[in-house]
């Protein structure tokens, strides 16, 4: 289960880096092969290193995926963990040109941790920095609006610090900060004659209950907008730290609750990478099949709910019928309709029903019919064209700068799909296409999703046609529970069972960034382990987070009714956005 360190693995640009930073301010950190390559910068050199990595043609890391702050004070490390190097900030980067991931790391002191902001380099870092300030207390000098993001105004302290008690609540003050902030803004264009400030959400049907936008309107045209999230901040990351690795799986289901299977499989994959175990081929195939069905469910709900918001209720009934059919399959596999908790570290919780293959085949036929029905209703519908075409446009450059991934990035003309570019779980063995649109408007995002559902069906049919037999869970009893006969009859089985239940899976100390293609984009898990049965730190890279952060920029200049359509096609899932 131990992994060997590969010095400078994957860092092809090390010589260029050496020339640019000859004093050693940025160095390559040796990482095991399953993790992403890592650079460590000093706090002084950090902004220069960020700009270099973005601009130099040999690096060109143009897309900021995530900012992961870690409080290392309870790690079993040198005393500097509690002093000069207590906090760690990791910027996870991706290069759309070279298809590579990178982690840029900087250590920060325990007292007054601060860094210059990265907003100039990667605009996507705006909200990630607010989150790091909110939950970890790291200040970013020069940030345009370093206010709390996920927690409320009355909150005291920084919740993800290790010295913060997990259950310590604070009462929310009912001040309307957002509205006053927008009303006090004076940098509006001069030809604005008379404007109205309109509050939109969080309890509004189009915002799905938990998003809030305040817009300044000139007539019906949006001249300024500000969005706010955190109304569903359920402390996933803090909860993960207080539960064992297996107990975290149900929490992952509730991140993107439109496609729970993908989240669980992604999390299990991250832990499996840390443990260095392989899962049986049958488990891998079933995970792929159910993940693709979940992707279809997610896209169906996105399209159906979006159409409700723009005034076409009928589609909703059609798209929900497909979901109900898929729910029946999930229910037969794991007993739950929505929150499946089906993945386990090492495989799956139980085997699929005997008629799984036939069921999947007939289901894929009937889901294809549903997709065709929705297609007939919508794709050539002139009303839909008028609502969707040319509204909510995101150019390719903007999409990359704002950190988009998934269907929204592909609708803007960048064909990055983790399943294709960094294949996992056997996606390289199946034949499928990655749909890409170029207009970047609402209709492109809708169209990409429609086509993706068909591609998902192609994947399902291929995987199901050669579904391997055998077990669905690994036989490594340090990780999975041994079978009951073994527990009752053999001493060793009893010991494994006891240790797994009481102490949890012992994941070797280390760190990983593992990513899969979620329904909305790259779903990443950064996990830090201290060698105990509980994760030391889990940070999700939620695909929705950069999308919603960019929303306030996309809608400016459009009509307020277009903002509703845009919100729907971006497909913001609050559970994942706020965690």
Partner 1 sequence: MSDKKFPLPAARIEPPLAPGVPSTTGFDFLTTKLDWFVQWSHKNSLWPMPFGTACCAIEFMSSVSSHYDLARFGAEVVRFSPRQADLMIVSGTITDKQAPILRKIYDQMPEPKWVISMGVCACTGGFYRAYHVVQGIDEIVPVDVYVAGCPPTPENLIYGIIELQKRIQSGDLARHREAKTYVPIRVGTDPVESLPAYSKGVMAHGRSSESGFAAMEGPVEAAKAGKGETR
Binding residues for partner 1 (CB under 8 A):
150-152, 154-156, 159, 164-174, 202-205, 208-210, 230-235, 238-239, 250-251, 254, 257-258, 301, 305, 316-317, 320-321, 323-324, 327, 337-339, 574-575
Shortest Cβ distance from residue 576 to partner 1 (Å)?
11
> Which helix (H) or strand (E) segment is 262 a member of?
helix 260-275
Residue among 125 and 240 whose Cβ is closer to partner 1: 240
Closer residue to partner 1 (CB): 304 or 558 = 304
- Smaller CB distance to partner 1: residue 301 or 563? 301
Which residues are within 8 A (CB) of 439 and not within 5 positions of it... i.e. 6 or more apart? 389, 390, 393, 411
79 vs 132: CA distance, rounded Å: 23
Backbone φ, ψ for residue 199 (5° rounding): -90, 140
Nearest to partner 1 of 75, 305 (CB atom): 305
Q: Tokens for 239?
A: 């909860």
Which are the contacts of 23, defined by CB distance < 8 A and separation ≥ 6? none
Rg (CA), the chain: 24
Q: How far is the CB of 532 from partner 1 (least distance, A)?
A: 20
Choice between 6 and 239, CB closer to partner 1:
239
Residues whose CB is less than 8 angstroms from the CB of residue 362 and which lie 6 or more positions away in sequence, other chains included: none
- Smallest distance from partner 1 to CB 164, Å: 7
CB of 154 to partner 1, least distance (A): 4
The distance of Cα 420 from the centroid of its chain, to the nearest Å, equals 18
Instruction: Determine the Cα–Cα distance for residues 537 and 72; give it in Å rounded to an integer.
Output: 9
- Least distance to partner 1, CB of residue 148, Å: 10
Show Cβ contacts of residue 497 under 8 Å, excluding neighbours closer than 6 positions. Answer: 481, 482, 487
Closer of 20 and 296 to partner 1 (Cβ) = 296
Alpha-carbon distances, residue 370 vs 323, 330, 458 (angstroms): 10, 18, 15
Of residues 124 and 574, the one with the C-beta less far from partner 1: 574
- The least CB distance from residue 324 to partner 1, in Å, is 5
What's the closest the beta carbon of residue 343 comes to partner 1, in angstroms? 17
Dihedral, CA of residue 313, residue 315, residue 317 and residue 318, to nearest 10:
170
């Amino acid at each position: 289960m131990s992994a060997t360190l590969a010095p400078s693995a994957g860092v092809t640009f090390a010589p260029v880096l050496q020339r640019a930073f000859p004093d050693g301010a940025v160095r390559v950190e040796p990482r095991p092969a399953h993790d992403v390559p890592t650079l460590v910068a000093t706090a002084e050199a950090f902004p220069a290193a960020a700009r270099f990595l973005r601009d130099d043609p040999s690096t060109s890391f143009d897309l900021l995926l995530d900012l992961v702050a870690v409080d290392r004070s309870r790690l079993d490390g040198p005393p500097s963990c509690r002093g000069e190097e207590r906090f760690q900030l990791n910027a996870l980067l991706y290069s759309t040109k070279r298809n590579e991931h990178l982690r840029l790391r900087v250590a920060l002191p325990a007292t007054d941790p601060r860094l210059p902001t990265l907003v100039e380099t990667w605009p996507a870092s705006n909200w990630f920095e607010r989150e790091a300030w909110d939950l970890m207390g790291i200040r970013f000098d020069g940030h345009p609006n370093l206010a709390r993001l996920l927690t409320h105004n009355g909150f005291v302290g920084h919740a993800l610090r290790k010295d913060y008690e997990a259950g310590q609540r604070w009462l929310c003050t009912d001040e309307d900060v957002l509205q006053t902030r927008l009303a006090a803004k004076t940098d509006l264009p001069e030809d604005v004659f008379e404007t109205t400030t309109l509050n939109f959400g969080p309890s509004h049907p189009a915002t799905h209950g938990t998003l809030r936008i305040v817009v300044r309107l000139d007539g019906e045209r949006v001249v300024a907008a500000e969005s706010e999230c955190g109304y569903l901040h359920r402390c996933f990351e803090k909860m993960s730290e207080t539960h064992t690795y297996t107990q975290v799986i149900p929490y992952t289901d509730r991140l993107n609750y439109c496609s729970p299977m993908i989240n669980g499989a992604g999390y299990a994959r991250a832990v499996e990478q840390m443990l260095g175990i392989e899962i049986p081929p049958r488990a891998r195939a079933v995970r792929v099949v159910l993940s693709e069905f979940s992707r279809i469910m997610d896209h169906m709900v996105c399209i159906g709910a979006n159409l409700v918001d723009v005034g076409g209720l009928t589609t909703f009934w059609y798209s929900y019928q497909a979901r109900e059919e898929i729910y029946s399959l999930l229910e037969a596999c794991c007993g739950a309709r929505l929150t499946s908790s089906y993945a386990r570290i090492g495989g799956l919780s139980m085997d699929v029903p005997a008629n799984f293959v036939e069921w999947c085949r007939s289901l894929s036929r009937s889901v294809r019919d549903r997709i065709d029905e929705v297609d007939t209703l919508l794709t050539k519908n002139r009303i839909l064209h008028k609502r969707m075409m040319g509204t909510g446009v995101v150019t390719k450059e903007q999409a990359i700068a704002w950190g988009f991934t998934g269907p929204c990035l592909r609708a803007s003309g960048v064909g990055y799909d983790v399943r294709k570019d960094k294949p996992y779980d056997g996606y390289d063995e199946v034949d499928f296409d990655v749909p890409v649109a170029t207009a970047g408007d609402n209709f492109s995002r809708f169209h990409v999703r429609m086509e993706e559902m068909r591609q998902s069906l192609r994947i399902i049919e291929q995987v199901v046609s050669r579904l391997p037999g055998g077990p669905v869970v690994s036989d490594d009893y340090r990780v999975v529970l041994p079978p009951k006969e073994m527990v009752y009859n053999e001493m060793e089985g009893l010991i494994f069972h006891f240790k797994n239940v009481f102490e949890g899976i012992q994941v070797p100390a280390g760190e990983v960034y593992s990513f899969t293609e979620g329904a909305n984009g790259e779903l990443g898990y950064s996990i830090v382990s201290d060698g105990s049965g509980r994760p030391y730190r889990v940070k999700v890279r939620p695909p929705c987070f950069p999308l919603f952060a960019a929303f306030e920029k996309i809608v400016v200049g459009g009509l307020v009714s277009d903002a509703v359509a845009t919100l729907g096609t971006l497909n913001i899932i609050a559970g994942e956005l706020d965690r």
